[in-house]
Chains A and B, each alone.
Chain A
Amino acid sequence: MQIHLDEAICTLPDKMRACFMLFAIEGFKQNEIAGMLDVTVGTVKSHIFQAKEKLKQALKGELANI
Chain B
Amino acid sequence: MTEQCEFYKKHELGQIDDIEFDKHLQSCEFCKAVSAEDAKLLELAQSLKQPIGPDNVWERLESDLSKEKSKNIIYLLFANNKVLIRIAAVLLIGAAIGFYFVQNNQIPDKGVVTMSMLEKLDEKEQDYLESIEELEAVTQEKMEQMDIGLMLLYRDKLEMIDEQISECKEALSDNPANAHIHKYLFAALKEKKETLKEIYKIETNKLNEDS
| A-to-B contact residues, CB < 8 Å | 1-3, 5-6, 9, 20, 24-27, 41-42, 45-46, 48-49, 52, 55-56, 59, 63-64, 66
Does B133 lie at the interface of the complex (its beta carbon under 8 Å from any beta carbon of A)?
no
Chain B: residues with Cβ within 8 Å of the partner, total of 17
Known: A45-B13, A45-B14. A5 touches B37 (CB 8 A): no
Question: Does B12 contact A45, Cβ atoms closer than 8 Å?
Answer: yes
User: A3-B52, A27-B46, A63-B44 given. 8 additional CB < 8 A pairs?
Assistant: A25-B49, A45-B12, A45-B13, A49-B13, A52-B41, A55-B41, A64-B37, A66-B44
Contacts of B126-142 to chain A: CB distance below 8 A: none
For the complex formed, measure the closest distance between the CB of B51 and the CB atoms of chain A, giving whole angstroms.
10
Identity of the chain B residue whose Cβ is nearest the Cβ of A64 in the assembled complex: B37
Identity of the chain B residue whose Cβ is nearest the Cβ of A66 in the assembled complex: B40
Which B residues touch A59, using CB under 8 A? 41
Known: A25-B49, A56-B37, A63-B37. A2 touches B13 (CB 8 A): no
Question: Does B13 contact A25, Cβ atoms closer than 8 Å?
Answer: no
Q: Give the CA-CA distance A18 to B49 in the complex, in Å.
A: 14
